[in-house]
Structure formats: structure tokens, C-alpha cells
């Protein structure tokens, strides 16, 4: 027979884990990745020991908290690649990623940096970046994207868009859409002015 007490403990553990993840997603989305683990535990109403039992490191917590967002980000790039017009597909990705970032600061901070270094998250991120690089190549070949654009410029777009601060989520999305539109105008091959300075690899924060 199943021990009712053991079943209850397993249920409590699952509830604690889901509550920790829910709090982590909300907190990281609003404040970025700098929130301390003890603060996550406090907001989830669990002890630090309980938090660390489920997630031994902050890296493990971030990886699990953003698993669904990583899948969504990859799906956006896949959608861009599926568009028969590579330039239109590229614009779709820029617009969608900027909007996603406006609603979730934590995910894009994780995606654009070297944190976390968990193998599964890093592999998914590199896969998404590889697909983005292919989209950039196609958009250039089709004559839509300026020839001197490099993939690291996309990381800089994320870093710059992450600096937008507004008083409400709706305003954040509106500002991100405007920022994306301005950027896209500057990325068009037929609007390109003098050649850009040589690219500089953005600094990837390590935690």
C-alpha cells in the first residue's frame, strides 16, 4: 500500500518546487537576474534549505525557470527562417525578440550573457543563435540586410533594448516596438550609409 504520509511529503515537495519556479519567473522577469536566492526563497515562503534542495545553484534555478521561454525564443527564430522573404523573417525576429524582452528582462539577460552555463540551456541558446546566424546570412543574400551586419550586433540590440525603462508593461512593449522599428530602418541594405566601424564583441556578463 502507498504510505499516505510519503505521498503527502512528495506532494508538498512538488508544490514547493512549483511555487519557487513561479516566484523566480516573476521576479527575474521584473528585476533581472541580480535577485538573491534568499529573496526568492522569502517570496516563495520557503526556507533557503528548501530552495537549495530543489535548486542547488542559481544557475540551476535560472535554467529551469526559463526553459519554456527558451523554447519560445527558438520557435520565433524558426518562424523567421520559414518566411519565404528572408528580410521580412529577419524583421519579424527582431520585433518579436524586442517585445519578449520588454515583458521578461530576466530571460533576455540570461540569453544574451554567459549565465547560466548549464549544458542544456547553453546548448539551446547556441542552437537558437546558430539559426539566427543562418537567417542573417539569408537576409544579406536576398539584399534586404546591410552587408556589414554581424550576429554580435543582434546581441547589442538585446543589450540596448534591455536598457529601456518604463512605468508599465504596456509602455515597455510600445517602447520596444518603436526601438525595433528604428533599428530595422538602420539595418536595411537600401538605407545603409557609410560603412560601420569594425564590430566589437559585446561583453557577456558571468555570474
pLDDT above 90 covers a percentage of the chain that reads 44
Compute the distance between CA of residue 41 and CA of residue 140 in angstroms, rounded to an integer. 47
Q: Which of 19, 18, 17, 24 is nearest to 38 (CA)?
A: 24
Rounded Cα–Cα distance for residues 151 and 159 (Å): 13
Distance in angstroms (rounded) separating the CA atoms of residues 57 and 201: 28
pLDDT at 56 over 50: yes
| Higher-confidence position of 39 and 101 | 39
pLDDT of residue 159: 80
Phi then psi dihedrals of residue 188, to 5 deg: -65, 135
Nearest 5°: phi and psi at 92? -60, -45
Give the CA distances from residue 83 to residues 87, 90, 93, 135, 156, in Å, rounded to whole numbers and listed in that order.
9, 9, 11, 10, 24
Least confident of 15-29, 111-125, 145-159, 175-189: 111-125
Q: Which pLDDT score is estimated for 65?
A: 86
CA–CA gap between residue 157 and residue 151 (Å, rounded): 10
Which set of grid coordinates corresponds to residue 86?
Answer: 528572408
Lowest mean pLDDT among 45-59, 69-83, 117-131: 117-131
Is the N-terminal amide bond of 116 cis, ω within 30° of 0? yes
Confidence of residue 70 (pLDDT cuts 50, 70, 90): confident
Using CA of residue 188, residue 193, residue 199, residue 204, what is the dihedral sign?
A: negative
CATH numbers and ranges of domains, the chain: 4-64 (1.10.10.60), 67-191 (1.10.357.10)
d(CA 26, CA 9): 26
- Cβ-based neighbours of 72, under 8 Å, separated by 6 or more: 100
Q: Is the pLDDT of residue 202 over 70?
A: no
pLDDT of residue 133: 95
Q: What is the pLDDT of residue 207?
A: 47
Is pLDDT of 36 > 80? yes
User: Is pLDDT at 135 greater than 90 in this prediction?
Assistant: yes
Round to whole Å and give the CA distance between 105 and 101: 5
User: Per-residue pLDDT averaged across 94-110, rounded?
Assistant: 81
Amino acid at each position: 500500500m502507498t504510505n499516505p504520509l510519503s505521498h503527502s511529503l512528495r506532494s508538498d515537495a512538488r508544490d514547493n518546487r512549483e511555487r519557487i519556479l513561479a516566484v523566480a519567473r516573476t521576479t527575474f522577469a521584473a528585476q533581472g537576474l541580480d535577485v538573491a536566492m534568499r529573496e526568492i526563497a522569502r517570496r516563495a515562503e520557503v526556507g533557503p534549505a528548501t530552495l537549495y534542495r530543489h535548486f542547488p545553484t542559481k544557475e540551476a534555478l535560472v535554467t529551469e525557470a526559463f526553459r519554456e521561454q527558451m523554447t519560445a525564443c527558438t520557435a520565433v527564430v524558426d518562424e523567421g527562417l520559414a518566411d519565404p522573404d528572408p528580410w521580412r523573417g529577419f524583421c519579424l525576429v527582431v520585433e518579436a525578440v524586442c517585445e519578449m524582452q520588454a515583458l521578461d528582462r530576466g530571460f533576455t539577460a540570461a540569453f544574451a550573457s554567459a549565465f547560466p552555463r548549464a549544458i542544456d540551456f547553453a546548448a539551446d541558446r547556441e542552437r537558437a543563435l546558430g539559426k539566427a546566424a543562418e537567417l542573417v546570412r539569408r537576409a544579406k543574400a536576398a539584399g534586404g540586410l546591410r552587408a556589414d551586419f554581424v550576429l554580435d550586433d543582434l546581441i547589442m540590440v538585446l543589450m540596448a533594448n534591455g536598457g529601456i525603462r518604463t512605468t508599465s508593461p504596456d509602455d515597455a512593449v510600445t517602447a520596444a516596438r518603436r526601438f525595433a522599428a528604428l533599428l530595422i530602418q538602420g539595418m536595411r541594405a537600401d538605407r545603409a550609409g557609410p560603412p560601420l566601424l569594425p564590430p566589437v564583441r559585446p561583453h557577456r556578463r558571468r555570474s
